[in-house]
C-alpha cells in the first residue's frame, strides 16, 4: 500500500495507508491513551479514550482543489467539527493530528470521570492493581476528584466465576469488549458475549462448561481493568512483588516464551513473554495454569534405593553409586546391548547430551529413545529437518499467498498456540486445508476440509503427489530424487490413491490445483500422522519436493512431535542407534530376556499397559529419574529426584527448530538435581566425568559437537529481535500485561539445505493403493488436558478429559448407544469398556479413543490406528 | 583557691535542691507525644472485623522492607475483614523497622497505626519478627479512630476506611 505522510503533534510521520491514527502516533513515540483498542484486535471505537483533534485540508467544493491560506499553505478544517476517535480513523495525506490540546485533555478527563463513575475503586484488593491501564491513565490523564457521589456507584455481586480459571468482577468492567473480540477473532472460541443494557450491561459466558476455551487466560492479560482476573493468581501477591523469570514452556512443541513470576521461591503466576516468532503475546491455559505441579507436596525429595521390597531414602552419593554399579554389573554380565535408556521429550538439550554420553558413550548401548514406548509413539521423521521450515520463517508474517496444510494433526490438542498462529494466517488472507480422519477445531477456519479414512492420510498426499507428477503441472522444484520418486509411484495412479484414501477424486484434483497455485506452503504433521510409521512424513516430504515448498522462509514442513523438546532429542541422538530398538520394542525385548537393565528419565511407561508394566517388573535393574513417585519409579531399584522447569537452566528446541533458553527461577526446594546433573553424577561414578559445572558448559559442548547447533550458544540465544511496537511510555499496559522479551528470542537452526547448500532429496514412496479398510477403526487421539503429572494442583483439574470413546451418530444409532453410555471395544490385544461421547462430524466406522491418564492405551491399541469391534457395553 | 572550688561546686550544690528531670525508668514511664511513632498495631473496625485487607501497600511503601504480607481470599461465610481479601500472614521485622510511619500513610483502611509503645526488645533475632497475632488488637479494643497524623492534617481516610466513621 502507498505510504501516507501526516503530522502528529508537530512531528512528520510516514505510515502505510490504512493505518489508524493511534498506530501512526506510536511510530513517532506519541502515546494516545486507549482502553478498547488493542493492536492485535480490530478497532471498534467503544471507549472514546483516544479522542484527538484531526485537521484535514479543506477542499473547495467547486474546484475540488485544496483551499489555500494567503501564505500558500493548505487551509485546514477540524474533521466533522469535533474530536475523532484515533483508533478508527485512518490516516490521510496532509492530516494534522493534535493530541495534547485543551479540548482533547478536557475530553480525556471527562471520559475517565465517566468510566470511574461506577468503578468501585477497590484497587488495594484488586489483582490488576499495579499493572492496570485504568489506574495508569487516570493518574496521567484523569481528574483528581469526581463529581459523582461515592454512594451512587453501581454494585454487583463480586466476583462471579466466568469459568474454572477466570473470575469476572462486573463492577470493575468498563465494557471495552477486548475479551469478547479476542475470543471471537483470535482464539476462535466465541464463548463470551454481552448481556442486558444500560447499567446492567455485562459480560457473560455462553458456553457449557462456562468459558470453554483453551486460551481464556489471555483475556486477563488484555483486560484493561481488573474485571477479568485468574483464579490461579487470585490474591497470591501484588504484581510489583513478583520477580519474573524468563523460561520456555515444555508442555508442547510450540515452546512458548513465558515468565514464571516468583515471590521469594514460590511460583505466583505464569505470564506470556512476547516473542513474535513463537507465541506473539499469548499463551495457552495449559501453560499458564498447568505449572502448579512444581509446588506439589508429593514431589520426591531425596534419592531412594531399593532394600528388599522397600525403597528407602539414601544420600545422593550412595544412590548415584548404586545406580552406576547396577548398570555396570548388567553390562559386564550381559553386555552393553542388555541396557536400554529412555528420556522424556520435555527434557532440555543439555539433558539429552549427558544422557547420550552416559548411555551411549560410556555404557555403549544402542537402545536409546525419547518416546514413551506406547501405541501412539511417533515414527522418526526427517522431513521437517530436510525441507524446513527454513530459518527466518515467522508465521506472524504470513498471510495472503500462504497455504497451510494440516495432515493428521489437531493443533488445539497437541500444540494449542498454533491454533492462534494458523488462524492469524487465515485472517491475513492465507488458506488452511485440513486432512484428518475426524473433525478438529481448526476445520472451522479451513478453506477446505478433507476427510480421509483413518490411517489414509499418506494415501491422500500420495494421490496429490501423483497428480502433480502425472498432470504435467508446472514443476520448478530444485529437489533431488524426483525421478526416483516418479519411478516409485509408477504402479499407482492418483485415482487409485484417492480411492484408497477414501476421498473422491474431484476433491483430490481440486486440492492439487490449490496446492500448486500457492506461492508459499507450510505443511504441518500432527501426532496422528507421525505415529503411522514414516508413510505420512515421507509423503509430505515428497509433496514439499514436487511443489518446491522448501528452501525459503514461509515454506516447509512443521512436525508436531509430542513433547516440549522432541526435536532436540532427535537432533542430539536420543534415537535408536545402529541395531538399536525403539522404545515400543523394549517391552517384548525384556520379555525375551534381551534387555536386563534400563534407565528411565522423566517418563512413566508403566502406565501404558500391562505389557510394559510387567516388563519393567522383570528387569534386573531399573534406574528412574522423575519428579514424582510414578508407577515406573515404584518398580525401580534406584529413584533419583529430578529438578523441574523452574529449578533448572537449559535450552529447548521447538517444532520450528528454534532453540530457546530457559532460566532457573529458584533453587530446587529439596536439592533435587536437573537430569543432566544426575546423569553427570552417574557418569562420574562410572569413571567418566565430563566435568561440566554449569548448564552453559553443556550448551557450549553441544554447539561445538553438533553442527546444526553451532549457532545456539547462550550469547546468541539472548539476542532480542525487537518487539512488535509498544508505545514509548510504559505502554505495556495498553497492549496487555504480557512481558516484554528482554532475554532473547532464540535462534532458528538452519535446515540441511541451508547448511550444505544442496537441495533436499525426496524419498521414494511405497504407493498405498490398498482398498479402504473395512470394519471399525479406532484412532487414538491426543488431548491437551490429559490429566497427567502437570495437572497436579492446577485450576484446570475439573477440565481434565476422562477416558472415553467418541463415536459417530451413525454408529451410535446402529448400536443404540447414547451419550455417556458404556461402549465395549475389543481388539486383538484386549477389550475395554468406556463411556461414549457422540461427535456429529464423525463418519461411520471410525471411533476415537482419547489418550489420557487413567486409560492404559497399550492394552487395547497396537498403534495409533487399531482395528476394533464396537459393541454396546454392560453398564 | 578554696573560693574557686566552692565557686565551681555552687552549680552542683544548687541542683541538689531542685526536682530532678530524670524519671526512675522502668518504674516510672515518661509519657510520649501524641504523634510519637512506636510499636505498630493492626486495628479493627467497630464490628470487630480486621481493618487490614491484605493489600501489601504498607510493604510497598516500607523503605526498609520490614513488612511481609501474604494475602488470601476471605471465606464469605466467616470473613476476617470486609471485602474479598485479608492478610493471612502479616509480619513486621522490628529490627529492620525504622519507625518512619510510611506504612501508616500508605494504608487505605487505617489498619496499621504506630502507637505509643516503645519497649521493643528481644533476646534473639527471630523474636524480632512480630506476627499478626502480636500486632492485631484484641477484638474489643482499639477500634477505628482516625490515626493521629490524618486527624492533625484534617484529612478523611479513603472510602473503605469510612465504614465506621
Q: Which residues of B touch A238 (CB under 8 A)?
A: 55-56, 60
- What CATH number did the domain enclosing A51 receive? 3.10.20.740
Q: Determine the Cα–Cα distance for residues A506 and A490; give it in Å rounded to an integer.
A: 21
CA B157 and chain centroid, separation: 18
Counting every residue, how long is chain A?
875
Please indicate whether, in this complex, the C-beta atoms of A124 and B160 are within 8 angstroms of each other.
yes
pLDDT at A491: 83
Considering the domain architecture, whether residues A839 and A865 belong to the same structural domain is answered as yes
All three cell numbers of A403: 497455504
Residue A782, all three cell numbers: 491426543
On whether the CB atoms of residues A749 and A659 are closer than 8 A, the answer is yes
Q: Rounded distance, CA A48 to CA A646, Å?
A: 42
Q: Would you call A159 and B72 a contact, using CB atoms and an 8 Å cutoff?
A: no
Residue B18 domain-assigned? no
Q: Which residue of B has its CA nearest to A123?
A: B55
A11–chain B nearest CA distance, Å: 39
Residue whose C-alpha is closest to residue B111's, from B75, B160, B60: B160
Query: Helix (H, G, I), strand (E, B), or coil: what is residue A525?
Result: strand
Does some domain include residue A119?
A: no
A5 CB-side CA count, 13 A:
3
Environment class of A493 (CB within 10 Å of its CB; exposed 0-12, middle 13-18, buried 19+): middle
A592 is a domain residue? yes
Q: Are A38 and A54 in contact (CB under 8 A)?
A: no
Residue reference for cell 479413543: A849
The domain spanning residue A336 has which CATH number? 3.40.50.740
**Between B140 and A819, residue with greater pLDDT:** A819
Q: Is residue B96 part of a domain?
A: yes
Task: Check the CA dihedral A504-A509-A514-A515 and report its sign.
Answer: positive
Give which of A124, A239, A240 to mutate to test B binding, by max B Cβ within 10 Å: A124
Per the structure, the complete domain to which residue A575 belongs is given by 304-374+567-694
What's the pLDDT band for B152 if we cut at 50, 70, 90?
Answer: low
Report yes or no: A601 and A626 within 8 Å, Cβ to Cβ: yes
Residues A532, A482, single domain; the answer is yes
Is residue A606 within 8 Å of A630, Cβ to Cβ?
A: yes
pTM: 0.92
What is the C-alpha separation between A382 and A171, in angstroms, rounded? 55
- Can you read off the three cell numbers belonging to residue A478? 530444485
Does residue B4 sit within a domain? no
| Confidence bin at B39 (pLDDT 50/70/90) | very high
Residues A398 and A512 both lie in one domain: yes
A417 and A369 both lie in a single domain: no
CATH of the domain at B55: 3.30.70.3270
Per-residue confidence (pLDDT) for residue A153, from 0 to 100? 85
Residues A550, A667: one domain? no
Could you give the CA distance from residue A511 to residue A438 in angstroms, rounded to a whole number?
Answer: 18
Domains held by chain A: number? 5
> Could you tell me the three cell numbers for B150?
490524618
A501 and A626, same domain (yes or no):
no
Report if residue B23 sits inside a domain.
Answer: no
Residues 72-131 of chain A whose Cβ lies under 8 A from any Cβ of chain B: 121-122, 124-125, 129
C-alpha distance from residue A259 to each of A269, A665, B89 (Å): 8, 9, 26
User: Could you say which DSSP state residue A251 is in?
Assistant: S
- The partner residue sitting opposite A158, judged by closest CB among B56, B70, B84, is B84
DSSP at A84: E
For B130-155, what is the mean pLDDT? 76
The secondary structure of residue A74, as a DSSP letter, is B
- Structure-block grid coordinates of residue A280: 506473539
Residues A498 and A513 in one domain: yes
pLDDT value, residue A730: 44
Residue B55 in any domain: the answer is yes
Q: Which of B59, B84, B159 minimises the CB distance to A125?
A: B84
Q: Where in A102-256 does DSSP place strands (E)?
A: 160-161, 166-168, 192-195, 202-205, 228-230, 243-248
Domain match, A207 and A324 both: no
The predicted-structure confidence for B45-88, as pLDDT tens digits, reads as follows 888 889 999 999 999 999 999 999 999 999 999 999 988 999 99
Beta strands A846-851; A776-782: pairing state = parallel
Asked whether the CA dihedral A321, A327, A328, A329 is positive or negative, the reply is positive
Q: Is A820 exposed, middle or buried (0-12, 13-18, 19+ CB in 10 A)?
A: exposed
- CA-to-CA dists, residue A676 to A601, A650, B149, angstroms: 10, 10, 59
SS3 track for chain B:
CHHHHHHHHHHHHHHHCCCCCCCCCCCCCCCCCCCCCCCEEECECCCCCECCCCCCHHHHHCCCCCEEEEEEECECCECCCCCCEEEEEEEEECCCCCCCCHHHHHCCCCCEEECCCCCCCCCCCHHHEECHHHHECCCCCCECCCCHHHHHHCCCCCHHHHHHC
Using CA of residue A334, residue A338, residue A343, residue A349, what is the dihedral sign?
positive
Tell me whether residue A110 is in a domain.
Answer: no
DSSP A789: G
Distance between CA A50 and CA A32 in Å, rounded?
6
Q: Which three cell numbers stand for residue A55?
A: 485537521
Identify the three-state secondary structure at position A746: coil
Which of B56, B75, B162 to probe the A interface (max A CBs under 10 A)?
B56
Reported as type and span, the H/E element at residue A11 is strand A11-16
> CB contact, 8 Å: B79 with chain A?
no
* Interface contact flag, A122 B60, Cβ < 8 Å: no
Cell of A81: 467539527
Q: Which of B108, B112, B143 is nearest to B39 (CA)?
A: B112
* Number of domains within chain B: 1
Please judge whether A238 and B83 are an interchain contact, meaning their C-beta atoms are less than 8 angstroms apart.
no
Q: What is the DSSP string of A260-314?
A: EEEETTEEEEEEEB-BTTTTBT---HHHHHS-GGGG-TTB--S-EEEETTEEEE-
Contact predicate A532/A457, CB 8 Å: yes
Are A158 and B85 an interchain contact pair (Cβ–Cβ within 8 Å)? no
Whole-number Å distance between alpha carbons of A707 and A725 = 35
CATH of the domain at A289: 3.30.70.20
Q: What is the rounded distance in angstroms from the CA atom of residue A680 to the CA atom of residue A497? A: 51
Verify that A455 and A603 share a domain, yes or no. Answer: no
Locate A662 and state its grid cell.
Answer: 530457559
Domain membership flag for residue B147:
yes
For strands A202-205 and A192-195, give the pairing.
antiparallel
Residues A747, A659: contact at Cβ < 8 Å?
yes
Last residue of a domain, one of A560, A584, A619: A560
**Positions in chain A whose pLDDT score sits under 70:** 1, 472-477, 721-734, 875
Cα–Cα distance measured from residue A108 to residue A488, given in angstroms and rounded to the nearest whole number: 71
A125 CB neighbours in chain B (<8 A) are: 53-55, 83-85
Task: Say which DSSP state A5 is in.
Answer: E
A575 and A535 in a common domain: no
Residues A413 and A531 in one domain: yes
Query: Which among A510, A531, A560 is the end of a domain?
Result: A560
Among the three residues A668, A694, A720, which one is the final residue of a domain in this structure? A694
Q: Measure B47 CA to nearest chain A CA, in Å.
A: 20
> Cα distance from B24 to chain A (closest Cα, Å)?
45
CATH number of the domain to which A460 belongs:
3.40.228.10
Q: Phi/psi of residue A653, each to 5°?
A: -110, 125
> Which domain covers residue B120, as residue numbers?
34-162
Amino acid at each position: 500500500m502507498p505510504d501516507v505522510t501526516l503530522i502528529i503533534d508537530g512531528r512528520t510521520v510516514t505510515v502505510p495507508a490504512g493505518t489508524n491514527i493511534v498506530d501512526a502516533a506510536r511510530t513517532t513515540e506519541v502515546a494516545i491513551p486507549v482502553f478498547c483498542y488493542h493492536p492485535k484486535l480490530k478497532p471498534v471505537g467503544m471507549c472514546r479514550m483516544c479522542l484527538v483533534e484531526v485537521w484535514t485540508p479543506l477542499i473547495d467544493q467547486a474546484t475540488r482543489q485544496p483551499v489555500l491560506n494567503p501564505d500558500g499553505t493548505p487551509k485546514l478544517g477540524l474533521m466533522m467539527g469535533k474530536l475523532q476517535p484515533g483508533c478508527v480513523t485512518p490516516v490521510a495525506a496532509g492530516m494534522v493530528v493534535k493530541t495534547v490540546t485543551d479540548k482533547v485533555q478536557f475530553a480525556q478527563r471527562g471520559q475517565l470521570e465517566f468510566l470511574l463513575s461506577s468503578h468501585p475503586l477497590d484497587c488495594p484488593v484488586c489483582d490488576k492493581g499495579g499493572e492496570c491501564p485504568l489506574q495508569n491513565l487516570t493518574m496521567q490523564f484523569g481528574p483528581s476528584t469526581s463529581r459523582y457521589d461515592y454512594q451512587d456507584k453501581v454494585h454487583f455481586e463480586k466476583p462471579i466465576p466466568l469459568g474454572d480459571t477466570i473470575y469476572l468482577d462486573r463492577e470493575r468492567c468498563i465494557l471495552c469488549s477486548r475479551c469478547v473480540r479476542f475470543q471471537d477473532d483470535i482464539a476462535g472460541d466465541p464463548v463470551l458475549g454481552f448481556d442486558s443494557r444500560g447499567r446492567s450491561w455485562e459480560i457473560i459466558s455462553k458456553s457449557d462448561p462456562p468459558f470453554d476455551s483453551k486460551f481464556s487466560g489471555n483475556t486477563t492479560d488484555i483486560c484493561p481493568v481488573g474485571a477479568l482476573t485468574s483464579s490461579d493468581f487470585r490474591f497470591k501477591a501484588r504484581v510489583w512483588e513478583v520477580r519474573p523469570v524468563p523460561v520456555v514452556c515444555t508442555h508442547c512443541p510450540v515452546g512458548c516464551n513465558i515468565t514464571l513470576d516468583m515471590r521469594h521461591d514460590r511460583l505466583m503466576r505464569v505470564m506470556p513473554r512476547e516473542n513474535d516468532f513463537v507465541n506473539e503475546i499469548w499463551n495457552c491455559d495449559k501453560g499458564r495454569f498447568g505449572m502448579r505441579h512444581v509446588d506439589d507436596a508429593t514431589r520426591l525429595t531425596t534419592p531412594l534405593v531399593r532394600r528388599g521390597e522397600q525403597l528407602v531414602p539414601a544420600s545422593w552419593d550412595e544412590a548415584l553409586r548404586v545406580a552406576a554399579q547396577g548398570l555396570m554389573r548388567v553390562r559386564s554380565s550381559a553386555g552393553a546391548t542388555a541396557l536400554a535408556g529412555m528420556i522424556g521429550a520435555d527434557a532440555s538439550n543439555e539433558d539429552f547430551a549427558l544422557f547420550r554420553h552416559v548411555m551411549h558413550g560410556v555404557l555403549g548401548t544402542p537402545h536409546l529413545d525419547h518416546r514413551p514406548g506406547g501405541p501412539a509413539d511417533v515414527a522418526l521423521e526427517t522431513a521437517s529437518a530436510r525441507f524446513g521450515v527454513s530459518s527466518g520463517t515467522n508465521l506472524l508474517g504470513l498471510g495472503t499467498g500462504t497455504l497451510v496444510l494440516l495432515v493428521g494433526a489437531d493443533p488445539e490438542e497437541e500444540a494449542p498456540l498454533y491454533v492462534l498462529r494458523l488462524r492469524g494466517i487465515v485472517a491475513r488472507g492465507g488458506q488452511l486445508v485440513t486432512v484428518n480422519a475426524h473433525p478438529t477445531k481448526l476445520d472451522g477456519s479451513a478453506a477446505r476440509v478433507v476427510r480421509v479414512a483413518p490411517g489414509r492420510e499418506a494415501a491422500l498426499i500420495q494421490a496429490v503427489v501423483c497428480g502433480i507428477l502425472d498432470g504435467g503441472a508446472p514443476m520448478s522444484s530444485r529437489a533431488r530424487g524426483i525421478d526416483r520418486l516418479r519411478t516409485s509411484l509408477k504402479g499407482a495412479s492418483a485415482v487409485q490413491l484417492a480411492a484408497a484414501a477414501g476421498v473422491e477424486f474431484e476433491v483430490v484434483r481440486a486440492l492439487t490445483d490449490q496446492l500448486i497455485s500457492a506461492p508459499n506452503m507450510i505443511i504441518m504433521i500432527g501426532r496422528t500422522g507421525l505415529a503411522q510409521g514414516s508413510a505420512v512424513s515421507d509423503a509430505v516430504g515428497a509433496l514439499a519436493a514436487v511443489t518446491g515448498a522448501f528452501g525459503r522462509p514461509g515454506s516447509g514442513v512443521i512436525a508436531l512431535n509430542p513433547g516440549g523438546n522432541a526435536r532436540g532429542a532427535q537432533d542430539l541422538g536420543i534415537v535408536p542407534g545402529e541395531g538399536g530398538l525403539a522404545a515400543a520394542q523394549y517391552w517384548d525385548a525384556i520379555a525375551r530376556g534381551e534387555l536386563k537393565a534400563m534407565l528411565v528419565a522423566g517418563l512413566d511407561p508403566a502406565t501404558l499397559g500391562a505389557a510394559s508394566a510387567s516388563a519393567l517388573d522383570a528387569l534386573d535393574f531399573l534406574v528412574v529419574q522423575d519428579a514424582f513417585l510414578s508407577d515406573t519409579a515404584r518398580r525401580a531399584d534406584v529413584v533419583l529426584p529430578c529438578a523441574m522447569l523452574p529449578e533448572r537452566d537449559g535450552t529447548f528446541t521447538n517444532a520450528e527448530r528454534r532453540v530457546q533458553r530457559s532460566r532457573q527461577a529458584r533453587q530446587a526446594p529439596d536439592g533435587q538435581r536437573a537430569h543432566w546433573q544426575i546423569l553427570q553424577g552417574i557418569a562420574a561414578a562410572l569413571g567418566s566425568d565430563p566435568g561440566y559445572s554449569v548448564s552453559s558448559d553443556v550448551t557450549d559442548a553441544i554447539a561445538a559437537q553438533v553442527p546444526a547447533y553451532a549457532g545456539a550458544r547462550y550469547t546468541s540465544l539472548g539476542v532480542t529481535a525487537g518487539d512488535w511496537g509498544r508505545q514509548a511510555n510504559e505502554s505495556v499496559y495498553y497492549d496487555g500485561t504480557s512481558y516484554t522479551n528482554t532475554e532473547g528470542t532464540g535462534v532458528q537452526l538452519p535446515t540441511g539445505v541451508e547448511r550444505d547448500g544442496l537441495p533436499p532429496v525426496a524419498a521414494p514412496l511405497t504407493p498405498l493403493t490398498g482398498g479402504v479398510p473395512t470394519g471399525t477403526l479406532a484412532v487414538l487421539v491426543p488431548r491437551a488436558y490429559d490429566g497427567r503429572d502437570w495437572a497436579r494442583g492446577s485450576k484446570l483439574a475439573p477440565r481434565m478429559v476422562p477416558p472415553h470413546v467418541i463415536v459417530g451418530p451413525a454408529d451410535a444409532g446402529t448400536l443404540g448407544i447414547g451419550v455417556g453410555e458404556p461402549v465395549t471395544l475389543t481388539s486383538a490385544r484386549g477389550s475395554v469398556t468406556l463411556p461414549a461421547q457422540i461427535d456429529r462430524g464423525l463418519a461411520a466406522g471410525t471411533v476415537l479413543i482419547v489418550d489420557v491418564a487413567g486409560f492404559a492405551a497399550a492394552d487395547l491399541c497396537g498403534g495409533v490406528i487399531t482395528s476394533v469391534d464396537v459393541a454396546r457395553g454392560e453398564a | 583557691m578554696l573560693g574557686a572550688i566552692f565557686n565551681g561546686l555552687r552549680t552542683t550544690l544548687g541542683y541538689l535542691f531542685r526536682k530532678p528531670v530524670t524519671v526512675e525508668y522502668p518504674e516510672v514511664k515518661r509519657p510520649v507525644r501524641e504523634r510519637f511513632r512506636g510499636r505498630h498495631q493492626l486495628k479493627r473496625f467497630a464490628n470487630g472485623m480486621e481493618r487490614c485487607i491484605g493489600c501489601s501497600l504498607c510493604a510497598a511503601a516500607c523503605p526498609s522492607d520490614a513488612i511481609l504480607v501474604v494475602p488470601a481470599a476471605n471465606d464469605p461465610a466467616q470473613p476476617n475483614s470486609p471485602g474479598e481479601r485479608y492478610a493471612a500472614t502479616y509480619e513486621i521485622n522490628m529490627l529492620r523497622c525504622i519507625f518512619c510511619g510510611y506504612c501508616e500513610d500508605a494504608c487505605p483502611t487505617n489498619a496499621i497505626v504506630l502507637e505509643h509503645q516503645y519497649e521493643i526488645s528481644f533476646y534473639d533475632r527471630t523474636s524480632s519478627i512480630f506476627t499478626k497475632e502480636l500486632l492485631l488488637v484484641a477484638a474489643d479494643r482499639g477500634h477505628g479512630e482516625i490515626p493521629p497524623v490524618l486527624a492533625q492534617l484534617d484529612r478523611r481516610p479513603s472510602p473503605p476506611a469510612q465504614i465506621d466513621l
